[in-house]
């Protein structure tokens, strides 16, 4: 290890650390409190400490403490500093009396709380609140001043809709909750909040419609969230991986979206929304397979148009999985299934290709995946140009060089376009991975391998659950009353209660207990209790 790394580490270890426990109460002396704050925060320059003199006779001091950038400084000046300075004559008496006056009249902001220990103090400080500490009193006054620079509400880029609202979630959890409440003006829309992450203390909230949602699903979501034992939560993907039912599958068992109208519609159907601070993507639980092929625009269009589009999306998903495998099986084992004229053309094209159809398909698919990834990671101004030009140039050059056949370029192109038509990006990625498995079995067994692959895929999908709800609902188990909002969408006037399996109906949840998630929670991401009742971290 280089010497400068060792020096920095040694210097870091020699920095003074506060000798205190987080559950310990604040000191009576203001100077001791300020010294503790500076030591705990490393004397960071963004921690602002402003000292004011009140009660001139006793020369009592009050400190206003906040973190720049995550507070609304206008509110601090207008509703905290100015009222205190204008009413100095009223502040007389002991520090405890001054504290009561400030809490009752001195701070004209809502959400006034009291911090009596250092854990509550620093948690409120890092949340964006402003804290007031009076010399001679061992408590701090918490004023809600959260704010700072935030991204404005914009149209979501990952789920574009021709017809419908244009607002999308932001990185602020409070803004996201308000966007849903604006659509569901019902007091039964309940929100529960918690903090997850030993280091990050990330705000996480669950939202559900009381009386509609199944209480067992709410309890299971709450239980899985509270059992998470991890240092940091930086995005909703962390939560998704820690609470999903099955890890060893490519299919998503939780739905994520950045559209408030999608969240509102699913909450009304009885699902639970999971909001995470710092990300515009909100999770929905439980999720079923057919849900990933539905678009919010389906409910804003006529039922016949929406039904045709849903059927087309499902067909595109099937094409994106088996199209290359069918081509490999037909050209390698089952030439008799291809019309004679077309077979002669394909044979003439493949005459100069030195690779079998499987190798040819794998080369083209991997090349296209590289181009797709490059187009995403490159700057937006040149990303699309690289994807289009790269595909055209490489495809044409590969055909002229005799590496691949023109028919294979067409198959790979159709497969890629069909994959792009899947509304859910998570489901589209699953199809991209499963496609290679189907290509492998088609190269070994032909159409028999493709058929066996479809059977195994169907069995795997039927074995999945999402918070106790079968993944293939309402097809397996069959629920005729819920088929009106699946591959087809019946008219709104003919639609009865939707998604009964996830609503408040105990008989529809199979089994007495919710299945616990398989890895990663069972692998030791949670705090368990041993036989003696003591906490045991694995």
pLDDT at 148: 80
Q: Which helix (H) or strand (E) holds 181?
A: helix 173-181
Report the alpha-carbon distance of residue 289 to residue 427 in Å, rounded: 9
| Pairing of the two strands 535-537 and 140-143 | unpaired
Enter the pTM of the model.
0.84
Torsion sign across C-alpha atoms 304, 305, 311, 315: positive
Q: How far is CA 89 from CA 56, 57, 85, 95, 188, in A?
A: 8, 10, 9, 15, 46
Helices H / strands E in the chain, number of each: 17, 14
DSSP SS3 for 468: coil
Whose CA is closest to 113, among 75, 135, 143, 137?
Answer: 143
In order along its 538 residues, the chain shows pLDDT tens digits of 444 334 444 444 444 444 456 778 899 999 999 999 999 999 999 999 999 887 656 678 899 999 998 998 888 888 888 888 777 766 667 788 788 877 776 676 766 889 989 999 999 999 999 999 998 889 999 998 888 888 889 988 888 888 889 999 999 999 999 999 999 999 999 999 999 999 999 999 999 999 999 999 999 999 999 999 999 999 999 999 999 998 889 999 999 999 999 999 999 999 999 999 999 999 999 999 999 999 888 889 899 999 999 999 999 999 999 999 999 999 999 999 999 999 999 999 988 889 999 999 999 999 888 888 887 777 766 666 666 667 777 778 888 888 889 999 999 989 999 998 888 999 999 999 999 999 999 999 999 999 999 999 999 999 999 998 999 988 988 888 778 888 888 888 776 555 455 655 444 444 444 555 554 444 334 444 444 444 444 3
Whose CA is closest to 361, among 288, 441, 425, 281?
Answer: 441
Whose CA is closest to 322, among 437, 179, 223, 241?
Answer: 437
Q: In this structure, what are the phi and psi dihedrals at residue 184, rounded to the nearest 5 degrees?
A: -115, 95
Residue 533 CB: number of other CB atoms within 10 A? 7
Ramachandran sector of residue 49 (left: φ over 0; alpha: ψ -120 to 50; beta: rest): beta
Outline where DSSP puts E strands in 39-138.
47-54, 60-67, 113-115, 130-134
- How is residue 515 annotated by DSSP? P
Ramachandran sector of residue 141 (left: φ over 0; alpha: ψ -120 to 50; beta: rest): beta
Report the alpha-carbon distance of residue 273 to residue 270 in Å, rounded: 10
Q: How far is CA 304 from CA 76, 297, 298, 308, 487, in A?
A: 55, 13, 10, 6, 11
Residue 190 neighbours by CB under 8 Å, 6+ apart: 207, 208, 209, 210
C-alpha of 365 from chain center? 29
Residue 264 CB: number of other CB atoms within 10 A? 22
| β-sheet with 47-54: strand ranges across | 47-54, 60-67, 130-134, 140-143, 113-115
Helix ranges (DSSP H) in 379-422:
380-400, 406-420
Report the alpha-carbon distance of residue 52 to residue 432 in Å, rounded: 63
Report the alpha-carbon distance of residue 538 to residue 525 in Å, rounded: 7
- Helix-helix angle 406-420:357-377, to 10 degrees: 40
Cβ burial of 188 (10 Å; 0-12, 13-18, 19+) is: exposed
Residue 459 CB: number of other CB atoms within 10 A? 9
Ramachandran sector of residue 63 (left: φ over 0; alpha: ψ -120 to 50; beta: rest): beta
Residue 98 neighbours by CB under 8 Å, 6+ apart: 54, 55, 60, 62, 91, 92, 134, 137
Report the alpha-carbon distance of residue 217 to residue 220 in Å, rounded: 5
Side-chain half-sphere exposure of 389, counting CA atoms within 13 A: 5
């Amino acid at each position: 290890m280089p010497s400068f790394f060792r020096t920095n580490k040694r210097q870091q270890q020699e920095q003074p650390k506060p000798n205190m426990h987080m559950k310990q109460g604040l000191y009576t002396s203001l100077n001791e409190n300020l010294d503790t704050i500076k030591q705990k925060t490393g004397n960071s320059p963004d921690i602002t400490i402003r000292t004011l003199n009140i009660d001139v006779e006793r020369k009592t001091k009050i400190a206003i403490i906040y973190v720049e950038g995550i507070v609304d400084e206008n509110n601090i000046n207008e509703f905290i500093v100015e009222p205190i300075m204008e009413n100095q004559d009223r502040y007389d008496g002991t520090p405890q009396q001054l504290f009561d006056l400030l809490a009752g009249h001195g701070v004209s902001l809502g959400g006034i709380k009291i911090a009596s220990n250092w854990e509550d103090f620093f948690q409120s400080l890092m949340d964006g609140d402003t804290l007031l500490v009076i010399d001679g009193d061992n408590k701090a006054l918490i004023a809600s001043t959260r704010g700072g620079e935030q991204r404005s509400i914009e149209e979501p880029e990952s789920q574009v809709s021709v017809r419908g609202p244009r607002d999308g979630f932001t990185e602020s959890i409070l803004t996201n909750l308000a966007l849903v409440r604006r659509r569901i003006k019902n007091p039964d829309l309940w929100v529960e909040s918690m903090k997850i992450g030993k280091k990050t203390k990330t705000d996480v909230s669950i939202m559900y419609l009381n009386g509609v949602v199944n209480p067992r699903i709410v309890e299971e979501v709450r239980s899985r969230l509270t059992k998470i034992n991890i240092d940091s939560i930086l995005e909703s993907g962390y939560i998704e991986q820690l609470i999903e039912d099955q890890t060893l599958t490519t299919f998503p068992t939780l739905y994520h979206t950045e559209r408030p109208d999608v969240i509102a519609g699913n909450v009304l159907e009885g699902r639970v929304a999971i909001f995470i601070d710092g990300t515009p993507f909100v999770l929905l639980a439980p999720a079923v397979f057919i849900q990933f092929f539905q678009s919010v625009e389906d409910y804003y269009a006529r039922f016949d148009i929406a039904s045709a589009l849903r059927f087309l999306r499902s067909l595109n998903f099937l094409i994106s999985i088996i199209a290359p495998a069918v081509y490999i099986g037909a050209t390698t084992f089952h030439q008799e299934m291809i019309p004679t004229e077309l077979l002669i053309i394909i044979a003439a094209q493949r005459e100069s290709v030195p690779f079998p159809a499987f190798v040819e398909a794998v080369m083209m698919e991997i090349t296209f995946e590289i181009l797709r990834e490059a187009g995403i990671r490159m700057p937006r101004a040149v990303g699309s140009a690289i994807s289009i030009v790269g595909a055209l140039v490489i495809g044409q050059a590969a055909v002229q060089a005799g590496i691949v056949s023109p028919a294979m370029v067409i198959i790979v192109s159709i497969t890629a376009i069909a994959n792009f038509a899947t509304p859910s990006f998570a489901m589209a990625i699953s199809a991209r991975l499963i496609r290679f498995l189907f290509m492998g079995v088609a190269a070994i067994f032909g159409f028999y391998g493709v058929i066996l692959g479809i059977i195994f895929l169907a069995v795997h999908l039927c074995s999945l659950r999402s918070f106790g709800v079968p993944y293939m609902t309402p097809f397996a188990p069959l629920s005729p009353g819920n088929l009106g909002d699946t591959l087809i969408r019946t008219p709104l006037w003919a639609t009865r209660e939707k998604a009964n399996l996830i609503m408040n109906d105990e008989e529809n949840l199979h089994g007495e207990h919710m299945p616990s998630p398989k890895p990663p929670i069972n692998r030791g991401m949670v705090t368990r209790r041993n036989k003696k009742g003591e906490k045991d971290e694995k």
